Amino acid sequence: MAGSRARRNRPACSVRDPSLGFDADAWQRFAAGLARVISRCRDRGYEPTFHPETGTHVEAPWEIERVLEVSDVGLCLETGHMLLGGGDPVAMLRDLGDRVNHVHLKDARLPVMAEIIADEAPVTEIWTGRATAQPRVPRGAGAVNEMRGLPPWLRSVLVLSAPGGWAALICGPWLAQTE
């Protein structure tokens, strides 16, 4: 996980406080390392995808955009992490859609996410404490439910997604319950 103790202890805060992000030198080092990874993937016949992650140096929309500026890597539209990082997945797909080559659609209780951000809870509390303490999202009660009942923002994600691309509905703590 590309992060720091400060980022792991204050996930989703860089959207409001850019000083928590990389400085110019760190972005140069990041870009150089990412270029090596991208090259190695392509040398082996793989097309790489960057997956933003909560509690790292790439979670806020401005950080995701910066990764795309310093590289030609594809982007995983990861709705759960983007929402938690302060982004709007539909707007990001609209604005960055030509770079999206993988999609993870996560269901979530948006009020719980807002509470986590407001409390500035550490990543460990999000994934192991509060997340598991909350009952799973009952079918139809989260941001995503069954296909016929998708909320408008998720319907837009699916409509705007390129045909033939990848999409995964991820279930986990505070996410959609499956039978």
- Element containing residue 152 per DSSP (H, E): helix 152-160
List phi, psi (to 5°) of 36.
-65, -45
Most confident of the following: 18-22, 40-44, 88-92, 110-114? 40-44
CA 140/CA 58 separation, integer angstroms = 30
The model's pLDDT over 21-42, given as tens digits with 9 standing for 90+, comes to 899 999 999 999 999 999 999 9
In this predicted structure, the answer to whether residue 71 has a pLDDT above a threshold of 60 is yes
Comparing 49 with 113, the larger pLDDT belongs to 49
Question: Which pLDDT does position 86 carry in this prediction?
Answer: 84
Residues 6+ apart with CB under 8 A from 7: 14, 20, 55, 56, 57, 59
CA 110/CA 151 separation, integer angstroms = 12
Give the model's confidence band at 143: pLDDT under 50 very low, under 70 low, under 90 confident, else very high. low
pTM of the model as a whole: 0.76
Give the model's confidence band at 139: pLDDT under 50 very low, under 70 low, under 90 confident, else very high. very low
In this predicted structure, the answer to whether residue 168 has a pLDDT above a threshold of 70 is no
CB 112 within 8 Å of CB 141: no
The model's pLDDT over 105-128, given as tens digits with 9 standing for 90+, comes to 766 666 777 777 787 777 776 665
Question: Which pLDDT does position 177 carry in this prediction?
Answer: 36
